[in-house]
């Protein structure tokens, strides 16, 4: 009898049950990950980030994968999927996001900067919680790639 068969023969149920339990836990973990919005997690302080600005409505933090010497993400605490899914009731909040961007740029000493909101997969949006990329510290080309 092979070694693994001996092990199975000794406790035939437990190996399968443990395997199934791990598979179940893994699938459950993936589902939770998919449901949980990463930027909501950052805004709630559940996910670590380098926060550089915060008020009652907005959080701004350093991008994990910076595309410029200064690359800050500015998000509303309220979960809005994208700019396209914002509504009339968000009009003050949208204004606050842009004012925060200008304020942060000034604090970082950025005279010239680029403010970008990717809207939808086709435009490069990968996190579906509205955010503005504030980038500066290098020359930017136009049109954007
Ligand atoms: P977008 O592709 O326009 O949706 O931008 C999403 C941005 O979020 C990318 O530039 C990522 O590098 C950035 N990002 C993703 N996860 C994190 C994180 N945990 N902390 C900081 N930035 C992140």
Known catalytic residues are 131
Instruction: Kindly state whether residue 66 falls inside one of the protein's structural domains.
Output: yes
What does the block give as tokens for 29?
């973990």
Ligand 1 in reach of 51 Cβ (< 6 A): no
**Which pLDDT tens digit goes with each residue over 86-145?**
999 999 999 999 999 999 999 999 999 999 999 999 999 999 999 999 999 999 999 998
Instruction: Kindly state whether residue 118 falls inside one of the protein's structural domains.
Output: yes
61 alpha carbon – ligand 1 mean position (Å) = 10
Instruction: Kindly state whether residue 95 falls inside one of the protein's structural domains.
Output: yes
Per-residue pLDDT, 22:
81
The whole-angstrom distance between residue 102's C-alpha and the CA centroid of its chain comes to: 21
DSSP 33-90: HHHS-HHHHHHTTSS---EEEE-SSEEEEE-SS-SSSEEEEEEESS----STT--GGG
**Which pLDDT tens digit goes with each residue over 6-15?**
555 566 668 7
Stated pTM of the model: 0.80
The CATH number of the domain holding residue 43 is 3.30.428.10
pLDDT band for position 55 (50/70/90)? very high
Ligand 1 in reach of 82 Cβ (< 6 A): no
Length of the chain: 145
Q: What are phi and psi of 96, to 5 degrees?
A: -65, -35
Place of tokens 């980038």: 135
pLDDT band for position 17 (50/70/90)? confident
Residue identifier of the C-alpha nearest atom 20 of ligand 1: 64
């Amino acid at each position: 009898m092979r070694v693994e068969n001996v092990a199975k023969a000794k406790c035939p149920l437990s190996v399968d049950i443990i395997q199934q339990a791990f598979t179940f836990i893994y699938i459950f973990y993936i589902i939770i990950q998919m449901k949980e919005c990463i930027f909501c997690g950052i805004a709630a302080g559940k996910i670590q980030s380098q926060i550089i600005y915060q008020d009652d409505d907005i959080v701004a933090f350093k991008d994990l994968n910076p595309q410029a010497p200064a690359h800050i993400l500015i998000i509303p605490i309220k979960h809005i999927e994208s700019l396209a899914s914002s509504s009339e009731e968000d009009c003050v909040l949208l204004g606050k996001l842009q004012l925060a961007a200008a304020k942060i740029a000034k604090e970082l000493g950025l005279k010239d900067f680029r403010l970008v909101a990717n809207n939808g997969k086709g435009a490069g949006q990968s996190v579906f919680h509205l955010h503005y990329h504030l980038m500066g510290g290098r020359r930017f080309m136009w049109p954007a790639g």
